[in-house]
Structure 1
Amino acid sequence: MNTIRPERRQGPSLLRGNLVTDSTADQRLLDRRGPADWVHMDPWRVLRIQAEFVEGFGALAELPPAVTVFGSARTKPDSPDYALGIRLGRALAEQGYAVITGGGPGCMEAANKGALEAGGISVGLGIELPHEQRMNEFVDLGVEFRYFFVRKTMFVKYSSGFITLPGGFGTLDELFEALTLVQTRKVTSFPVVLMGRRFWGPMIDWIKDTLLTEGKISPPDVELIRCTDDVDEAIQIIAEADRVRGETEVHERESVRQTVSDAQ
């Protein structure tokens, strides 16, 4: 009788059986405990991190306009959220957007599936985890990462915006990091859309009734979040932001061209 051996992705490699270690690259990078030789290895880790950036940039640089879809890996295929993910992925592909997810199961799989079935480009950006999470079968282009912060950079750099389906800690992490980047203007014209008013409504109420009321955020910060149940509305929000971004870029190029012309 065949037994299922443990396995784990480690960057571009796949480890199985006794080769699977107890820790991940992220854990070893961030852990200052243990023998001093870990400290002396940090400069070498920088080269591995650099390589991950180079590999990610190279793999994703020629993507068409894309949208990143987040959501729970625990969502079951027979759930309404999974069906919503399929509709969303399909609609994004029909509008010419590539769909980027974390490459895992659940809502991520649903969005990839919808994009693939509609003839669009379906992308998965995987991550090394203590408990193996396979790249779902609906991914056309899959890139594996060791380090969360490298993967997060790819999500933002190659996306026109984020659409977030119901999810847990990982989804919340990506959501609030995106909101912080927009709030601090590290990225501009970058919409963040929440799908599912029933799920996200209590959180939005808390943001308004607690964070805003107690002065922890400003009124414009609340407007950074858009929440809807309508797939078409979500895509319209992304498309409008793309239009504004395009007009801004044209205006900036014209201003530079005029400045150079005047100087001559």
Structure 2
Amino acid sequence: MEAATASSLGRSGAGLRSVPGLARSSSSSLTLRDARRRSLTPPHLPWPASRLVRTSGAGSLSVVAAAANPHNHQQQQLGVEGMGVAMEPERGSPGEVREEIARCYELVRRLGRGAVYLGSSRVPPTHPHYHQTAELARETSKLLDCTTWTGAGPGLMDAAIQGALQAEKPVGGFKIGKEAGEWTASNFHPYLPPESYLTCRFFSARKHGLVDAVVRNSSTDKTAIVALPGGIGTLDEVFEIMALIQLERIGSALPVPFLLMNYDSYYSKLLEFLNDSTEWGTVAPGEVASLWKVCNGNHEALEYLAQFYNVPAGQRNYHTSPPSKEHVTSYNVS
């Protein structure tokens, strides 16, 4: 496990910078509607197209390839006899990973630290958790006046982006070429300006960027980690960040609020398991509770952040909807 260090990155300027083309009411601003309609010319590929990992094997294997048209983000399936070619970059040297981490740090330095959202890429826009996430991101970005950071993927990551755009606050992201739920070779976000996100070759670099985005070295820094309902990837990030906080290796001089959003009791079984771990003696009593705040709804989460950062009552003007009474057990994703 690699921990981000605060000494390698500082904030530029006195305030948070707006993402070019995203913020506020200037002539260069990008509203939510504009963001959806904007057609972008993708930047250069993050690694040479010739660097593909070949896997041997008999029979016909499918290869995921990007469409020739850079504006077409639909994946193509190509049959290959006798071998498979995966869109995964080889690790040529440790220097390549270090260089990508440095680019992640630079993006954080340029856009400003803020709230990082971890969540499932499989949740459709019609799901209540999608709407709850968009609402939470909108109100949190206004409450903390901060940048919203995600993995720049679909599902709940996209919901957080939508909420921040509604609040006209800056957005940043660290995309990976292949996300669970979409499994596409596209390296480009469908509507965010390319200068507001980085497509990472390496998961380790992506994690470094997301961790560094919440580091607090000054009392003026207002950041947060928000864990939304998610699967294997989300749990991987959640427990890594928990361990970094527990071992004081997150690289933050000041404490960072960590919220676990238990929408519709999504994480209740996980919390029961952690309680059982305490009974087994593998987790110390009260250890897990000291690392995060479990929230069942958006109002509870916003109130916790407001109290954490001593936001005056008169400035707590967030607007939240009552929790859905419909108990949802599945995202109904094929």
Aligned to 1:11: 46
Look up the SS of the partner of 1:105 in the other structure: coil
Per the alignment, do residues 177 and 73 of structure 1 end up closer, same or farther by CA in structure 2, a change over 3 Å counting? same
For residue 137 of structure 1, what is the aligned residue in structure 2? 191
**Alignment root-mean-square deviation, CA:** 2.6
Alpha-carbon offset, residue 143 of structure 1? 0.9
Indicate the residue corresponding to 1:33 in structure 2.
none
Match of 2:213, as an amino acid? Y
Cα gap change, 1:136/1:172 in structure 2, threshold over 3 Å: closer, same or farther? farther
Q: Which amino acid aligns with 1:22?
A: A
1:202-213 matches, within 5 Å, as 202-208=269-275, 210-213=276-279
How many Å separate the matches in 1 of 2:189 and 2:278?
Answer: 39
8 Å Cα contact 1:113-1:138 kept in structure 2: no
Indicate the residue corresponding to 1:24 in structure 2.
88
The one-letter code matched in structure 1 to 2:86 is D
- Structure 1 CA distance, aligned partners of 2:108 and 2:308? 21
Contact 2:174/2:197 (8 A) holds in 1: yes
Q: Distance in 1 between matches of 2:249 and 2:302?
A: 23
SS of the residue 2:269 aligns to:
helix
Matching residue of 1:39 = none
The amino acid across from 1:231 in the alignment is N
Within 2, Cα distance between the matches of 1:219 and 1:10?
Answer: 48
In 2: Cα distance, 1:124 partner to 1:70 partner: 11
Higher helix share: 1
- Match of residue 237 from structure 1: 304
CA distance in 1, matches of 2:196, 2:306: 23
Inter-partner Cα distance in structure 2 for 1:136 and 1:93:
22
Deviations, residues 1-36 of structure 1 (Å, cap 9, x unaligned) = xxxxxxxx9527787359x941412xx33xxxxxxx
Contact 2:138 2:165 survives alignment (8 Å):
yes
Contact 2:121 2:154 in 1 (8 A): yes
Structure 1 unaligned residues grouped into runs of 5+: 1-8, 30-41, 244-264
Determine if the alignment matches structure 1 residue 194 to structure 2 residue 257: no
Query: Judging changes above 3 Å, is the alpha-carbon distance between structure 1 residues 98 and 215 closer, same or farther for their aligned structure 2 residues?
Result: same
Distance of aligned partners of 1:10 and 1:236 in 2 relative to their CA distance in 1, 3 Å threshold: farther
CA contact (8 A) 1:116 1:138 kept: no
Secondary structure of 1:185's partner? Answer: coil
Is residue 2:145 matched to residue 1:71? no
Sequence identity (%): 24
- The answer to which structure, 1 or 2, has the higher relative contact order (CA under 8 A, 6+ apart) is 2
Q: Is the 1:11–1:128 contact (alpha carbons within 8 Å) kept by the matching residues of 2?
A: no
- Contact in 1 for aligned 2:176/2:199 (Cα 8 Å): yes
Alignment match, 1:156: 211
State the aligned residue count.
217
TM-score of the two chains, using structure 2 as the length reference: 0.59
SS in 2 for 1:61: helix
Where does 1:86-125 land on structure 2 (aligned, <5 Å)?
86-95=134-143, 96-125=145-174
Q: Distance in 2 between matches of 1:100 and 1:173?
A: 17
**Aligned equivalents of 2:156 and 2:66: distance in 1?**
26
Asked if structure 1 preserves the Cα contact closer than 8 Å seen for 2:176 and 2:203, the reply is yes
Q: Determine the C-alpha separation between the residues in 1 that align with 2:147 and 2:299.
A: 16
1:21-54 CA distance string (max 9 Å, x none): 41412xx33xxxxxxxxxxxx4xx2222122122
* Aligned match of 2:17: none
Distance in 1, matches of 2:285 and 2:304, equals 20
Contact in 2 for aligned 1:10/1:145 (Cα 8 Å) = no
Could you tell me which amino acid in structure 1 is paired with residue 46 of structure 2? G
